[in-house]
Amino acid sequence: MRRIPFNAKLAVAIAILAMVGLGPVCAFSADQSSESPVELVRRTVQKETATSNGGAKAMFTDRKGTPQGSQTKLIVETREGMAGMLVAINNKPLSPAQRQAEEARLEGLANNPEGLKKKQRSEKEDAEHVARIMKALPDAFLYERDGSAVGNQEIGRPGDQLVRLKFRPNPKYDPPSHTEQVLTVMEGYILIDADQHRIAKIDGTLTKEVGFGWGILGHLDRGGHFLVEQAEAIPGDWEITHMSLAFTGKELLFKNINIKLDEVFSNFGQAPSNLTFAQGVDLLKKQQAELAENQQRP
């Protein structure tokens, strides 16, 4: 994931909360959907924040679109962090010179222990922000049932019943830090696979302006919106499939914040569970070479 400035961290932390889809998938009986909305959310959060899923790793394609254009990357999860290789800009494959430069960049990082440690610290910091938000969900909102949906390839698990819950701020919730402050002005809905206790979709909108850094560092405007969709992309492994962000605001009272992002994750496959970053780079290079060869065929 790209590095983001502090002014956007709260917004993005909310948006990526479904990415922590970790933990072995366990079967729950269908009558669990009859539990109260808040208990359903609480059990789901416990499942989402469980430790590890047996070391399973995934490879996938990440297409990120912004008002300035799009970038497509091949991504592989390794034991030393995520490795990503750029393969297309605005849906146009990289030139041979661009491919060579991208491979050199990744090889340089793979041979830079300090750079890898910095990357790992960054990913850990992002994960900690997400975990704080996740753990706050049962107490930060009031929930009520709002129908149901059926899972598919992009949302949940095909054929599974998804419970739809509307949420709004809980007036009794007292955020323990500025990280959770954004939850006090957010409403929307969440889809939960009640059998698996996994989040399939969450859609939220800021109903009021919210400050960060106690308002000193800036604010996010009312109407800011995020959407995250998650699915069982590989048997037993839930992954984010779609993320959309749209936020405006101010940083330090004079610098505009304008975050508009639509990101789609697809083509999931299993990766070796104990890959080093360098081995992940080699795997990406091989996959990129195969992709380039296929694109050159008539």
The whole-number pLDDT of residue 52 equals 54
The whole-number pLDDT of residue 199 equals 95
Work out the number of other CB atoms within 10 angstroms of the CB of residue 184: 17
pTM: 0.82
Classify 156 as helix, strand or coil.
strand
The whole-number pLDDT of residue 252 equals 75
The first and second tokens of residue 226, run together, are 């995020």
The whole-number pLDDT of residue 15 equals 42
The whole-number pLDDT of residue 38 equals 95
Helix axes 96-110, 277-296, angle to 10 degrees: 170
The whole-number pLDDT of residue 213 equals 61
Which residues neighbour 105 within 8 Å (Cβ) at sequence distance 6 or greater? none
Question: CA-CA distance, 184 to 210, in Å (whole number)?
Answer: 9
In this prediction, the residues of the chain whose per-residue pLDDT falls under 70 are 1-34, 51-55, 213-216, 253, 295-298
The first and second tokens of residue 217, run together, are 């560092």
The whole-number pLDDT of residue 101 equals 96
The whole-number pLDDT of residue 8 equals 37
Identify the CA nearest to 16 among candidates 8, 26, 24. Answer: 8
Buried/exposed code over 129-157 (b: 16+ C-beta within 10 A; e: otherwise) = bbbbbbbbbbbbbbbeeeeeeebeebbbb
The whole-number pLDDT of residue 266 equals 95
Question: CA-CA distance, 230 to 232, in Å (whole number)?
Answer: 7
Contact 169, 50 (CB under 8 A): no
Long-range contacts of 214-220 (CB under 8 A, 24+ apart): 214/178, 217/6, 217/7, 217/251, 217/252, 218/7, 218/249, 218/250, 218/251, 218/252, 218/253, 218/255, 218/257, 219/249, 219/250, 220/10, 220/11, 220/182, 220/247, 220/248, 220/249, 220/257
Domain locations in the chain as residue ranges: 6-296
Q: State how far Cα 96 lies from the chain centre.
A: 31
